[in-house]
Amino acid sequence: MVTSEEDVRTVRDAIACYEKATGATLNVAKSNALTVGTWDTACDIMGIPYSEEIKILGVKMRNTMKQSAMTS
């Protein structure tokens, strides 16, 4: 989870370091970002698209706890 644009830069740097060390690459086409609260969707996160709903380890999540509970 990131809460500021500075966090986005930190995560991007960590991913770049991991990619360089392992030769693996992040597949942006299989990635999604979920906005929570008042996050500004104008903030680009490595080209990853924003979604209304994401699924992590079989659990569906939405941008509020109530919506997530109703979905799951």
Output the pTM of the full model: 0.68
Instruction: Give the Cα separation of 51 and 63 in Å (integer).
Output: 9
- 71 vs 18: which has the higher pLDDT: 18
Q: Tokens representing 19?
A: 């990619």
Q: Tokens representing 63?
A: 């941008």
CB distance 71 to 62 below 8 Å:
yes
Straight-line distance from the first to the last Cα atom of the chain, in angstroms, rounded to the nearest whole number = 20
- pLDDT tens profile 7-59: 889 999 999 999 999 999 999 999 998 888 788 888 888 889 988 889 889 88
CB distance 63 to 56 below 8 Å:
no
